[in-house]
Structure 1
């Protein structure tokens, strides 16, 4: 067993944090940092098992980096009656049960008490699994390497239970990986884990969330969506993201720019409430647009400090100004200058995209809204002549009603597309692909028209100068 971080860490207690350089930006970045440490598992024999919920966000990035399947290992602790934080054991999918005999004996837990606790926890486990297994059948671990991933390891109790469950499911080798873990907990994982790989192993851990700049809660919908994305066929190789910085008044916003060869236009993403340039959904759609020949820009509309204040998330004027700054920045980038600009917005970001499109000076060629809130841009709708596609899930009735009402108020070419069975996050299998296909067709039609219009204007200007 080894810890990748321990090999290089100085022995000083002062290195437990090493100022801000040791803070992880978020779970997505933390997962990407783990991939080089896990390169030996890029062997076709590894299954990545994310521990819900935050471990699945990290695990998704690890699975992508290793080109390995992603599954979820749901663990429920069997707490001692009257002392639920003390684990008498744990249960997992498929009827797996692991006991801690020392705790059971030491606390005098009898069979009836243990059975009662297990019934309660089994019901909770089954409820969580019901949603997960709709999008991802259980991956067989027999004879394979189980790579268990969490967003941090404090006491190690959950990780130990997960190791035992993976072993009970037939895993040949069990490995635990986490961005950060208490050094004492890493040592205690033996013999349950054959190997432990961590980016950071401080002697004084504290709260796991304190090691992240951005550590938002993760809901079951996000877990299901990531598992479904991982199980879906991967798009063709992406255009290669370039990290960029976009000046927007008093702040600078980080972004990811991808420019495939011969790109006929660029699509700027406006993320929804609580999301960022690292949104797995929007990254997935961006890759599909790259494959179709569009450049893409994903950037954060808010700084980390700004995003803490929920009022900023719904400040459509502010978000629209940030989009305007990004479009202005694009006009001066040689790789994409002169290409027509489309906007792809989700949730509150869609309202910002509509507000930006209402400004003729920005010359937006097309707008696509996925599960958007056009009602938040109500005062701009009559001024929008930009071709606008509103995509809404058929199982998202409230948002569907808001979009139907907004459609009537839009002035330019417009269409409402309903994806059957999709809920607000488009987490159901295949629904995000349908939304991406609709968006691609809309941009292909209307950005091509915008480009032709630009060429016509340039040609007329050239004739006038002769």
Structure 2
């Protein structure tokens, strides 16, 4: 259990330091990852920036991610889940286009540009406040991979066990402090897990 996102970031930073992880760039996934990513970037003496993706929600259950759209237009679809719950193709396409635009708009709000930071040749750590389905993390990792980093590590305080296993295919290393078999939602492992506003998240970048 973590007190809040900042405390989770401090514990994550300590684990990365213990493992000897070296980073040139730490990328938080807005909004909730920025309070986690700030202590990580400070501990690793790395620049802090953002990478953005937006989840594609299921019909009548937008919190259930059936995929994710990245700010660069790339899309990851959870085809087994889409087939299992019978999501209409027109819903996937409509939501895909909407979430690509949402991701681009968020990136521009945070960075003042639709371009990602300079990633090529850098050692990159991608941070989120937790991983449930892994859709957003997967889309973000694929964006980073496209920019030819020297290495990419995903670091999170908590993850569902299945998602942590699956995400090893997307990163050189996946570090999760906790992968509890009782996982249901990220928020259950935080005593305080309120919404983070864009203004608050951006402030972590300005420190």
Please say whether Structure 1 and Structure 2 have the same fold, judged by a TM-score greater than 0.5. Answer: yes
1:41 aligns with 2:21: yes
Which among 143, 155, 159 is matched to residue 133 of structure 2?
155
Q: Distance in 2 between matches of 1:184 and 1:166?
A: 22
Q: What is the match of residue 202 of structure 1? A: 180
- Report the CA distance between 1:151 and its aligned residue: 1.1
- Report the CA distance between 1:215 and its aligned residue: 2.0
Deviations 1:157-198 (A, max 9, x none): 222222222112323322111112222321121211221112
Query: TM-score, length-normalised on structure 2?
Result: 0.83
Q: What is the match of residue 221 of structure 1? A: 199
Q: Distance in 2 between matches of 1:210 and 1:101?
A: 24
SS at match of 1:59: helix
Q: Distance in 1 between matches of 2:139 and 2:108?
A: 21
1:185 aligns with 2:152: no
Q: Distance in 1 between matches of 2:27 and 2:188?
A: 24
- Report the CA distance between 1:226 and its aligned residue: 0.9
Note the 1:387-426 alignment, pairs <5 A.
none
Q: Structure 1 pair 113/184, CA: closer, same or farther in 2 (3 Å)? A: closer
- Asked if the contact 1:136/1:228 (under 8 Å) is kept, the reply is no
Q: What is the match of residue 168 of structure 1? A: 146
Note the 1:40-439 alignment, pairs <5 A.
40-42=20-22, 45-79=23-57, 84=62, 85-87=64-66, 89-93=67-71, 95-100=72-77, 102-103=79-80, 106=83, 110=89, 114-134=92-112, 138-229=116-207
Report how many aligned residue pairs link the two structures: 202
Structure 1 segments (4+ residues) deviating >6 Å: none
Q: Distance in 2 between matches of 1:121 and 1:71?
A: 21
SS at match of 2:138: helix
- Asked if the contact 1:135/1:227 (under 8 Å) is kept, the reply is no
SS at match of 1:192: coil
Task: Tell which structure's C-alpha radius of gyration is larger.
Answer: 1
- Report the CA distance between 1:69 and its aligned residue: 0.9
- Report the CA distance between 1:90 and its aligned residue: 2.5
SS at match of 1:54: coil
Q: Structure 1 pair 125/209, CA: closer, same or farther in 2 (3 Å)? A: same
Question: Which blocks of at least 5 consecutive residues in structure 1 are unaligned?
Answer: 1-22, 230-466
Q: Structure 1 pair 41/137, CA: closer, same or farther in 2 (3 Å)? A: farther
Q: Distance in 2 between matches of 1:26 and 1:211?
A: 9
- Asked if the contact 1:80/1:109 (under 8 Å) is kept, the reply is no
Q: Distance in 1 between matches of 2:56 and 2:78?
A: 12
Q: Structure 1 pair 134/81, CA: closer, same or farther in 2 (3 Å)? A: same
Query: TM-score, length-normalised on structure 1?
Result: 0.39
- Asked if the contact 1:71/1:136 (under 8 Å) is kept, the reply is no
Larger RCO: 1 or 2 (CA < 8 Å, sep 6+): 2
Q: Distance in 2 between matches of 1:76 and 1:105?
A: 17
Q: What is the match of residue 307 of structure 1? A: none
